[in-house]
Amino acid sequence: HAVSVIVAADEKKDMYVKDIVTKCVQGFEYGEEGYLSKLAALSQLMLLSAKDTEDEHDNILEIAIQKVLLQVRTKAKSDDVEWQEEPDEECEAKIWALKILANRLRSYAMSVPDSEIESVVTELALPVFKLLNRVVDKDGELSKTQGETPKPHRARLRLNAAILLLKLCSAHKRFDALMEPKNFNRLIVIAQDPLPEIRSAFVDAIKKYLGQGRLPQRFYTLVFVYAFEPNAVIKNPALTWLKGRAAAFAKTNETVMETTFARFISLLAHHPDFSTEAENLQDFVDYMMFYLKAVATPANIALIYHIAQRMKSVRDGIDESKSENLYCLSDIAQAVIHRYQELQGWSLSVYSGKPRLPAGLFAPLPNHAVAQEIADKQYVPEKLMENIEDLVRDRLRTKKRKSESTNTQAKKRARASEGKSSKTTTKKAKSVKTPKKRRASNATASVPASEVRRSSRKSGAKSYLEQSDSEEEADGFDDAEEDDSNNEESDAEDQEMDDAEEQESEQAEAASDEAEREAVEPEEPQEEVEAPAPEAPQTRRSGRAGAKGKKAPPAAAPKRSSRRKKNGVASDSELSDAPSDME
Does 108 share its domain with 40?
A: yes
Residue 207 within a domain: no
Does 158 share its domain with 262?
A: no
**Residue 316 — φ and ψ, nearest 5°?**
-65, 125
Does 56 share its domain with 165?
A: yes
CA 266 to each of CA 190, 296, 307: distance values in angstroms, whole numbers, following the listed order:
17, 19, 12
- The percent of residues in the chain predicted with pLDDT above 90, rounded, is 54
Does 453 share its domain with 391?
A: no
**pLDDT tens digit sequence for 516-545:** 555 444 444 444 444 444 444 443 444 443
Does 275 share its domain with 382?
A: yes
Domain boundary among 179, 201, 228: 179
Supply the DSSP symbol for 357. P
Residue 507 within a domain: no
Residue 415 within a domain: no
Does 155 share its domain with 249?
A: no
Domain boundary among 123, 150, 179: 179
Domain boundary among 179, 199, 224: 179
Give CA–CA dist 193/186, Å, rounded: 11
Overall pTM surpassing 0.85 (yes/no): no
Does 153 share its domain with 300?
A: no
Number of independent structural domains in the chain: 3
Does 390 share its domain with 439?
A: no
Residue 164 within a domain: yes
Helix axes 35-48, 89-111, angle to 10 degrees: 10
Determine the structural domain holding residue 448 and report its residue range. Answer: 432-458+527-583
Give CA–CA dist 239/259, Å, rounded: 18
Give CA–CA dist 290/224, Å, rounded: 7
Does 9 share its domain with 130?
A: yes
Q: Is residue 488 within 8 Å of residue 481, measured between CB atoms? A: yes
Residue 298 within a domain: yes
Residue 119: partners with Cβ closer than 8 Å, 6 or more residues away: none
Does 328 share its domain with 265?
A: yes
Question: Across residues 118-145, what is the average pLDDT?
Answer: 91
**Residue 315 — φ and ψ, nearest 5°?**
-125, 165
Q: If phi over 0 gives left and psi between -120 and 50 gives alpha, with beta otherwise, what is residue 312?
A: alpha
Supply the DSSP symbol for 227. G
Q: Is the pLDDT of residue 268 over 90?
A: yes
Residue type at position 448: P
Residue 406 within a domain: no
Does 243 share its domain with 285?
A: yes
**pLDDT tens digit sequence for 361-371:** 999 999 999 99
Residue 294 within a domain: yes
Does 309 share its domain with 170?
A: no
Give CA–CA dist 322/576, Å, rounded: 76
Q: Is residue 97 within 8 Å of residue 168, measured between CB atoms? A: no
pLDDT at residue 507, rounded to an integer: 63
Helix axes 556-566, 436-443, angle to 10 degrees: 110
Residue 103 within a domain: yes
Q: Is residue 72 within 8 Å of residue 143, measured between CB atoms? A: yes
**pLDDT tens digit sequence for 68-95:** 999 989 888 888 899 999 999 999 999 9
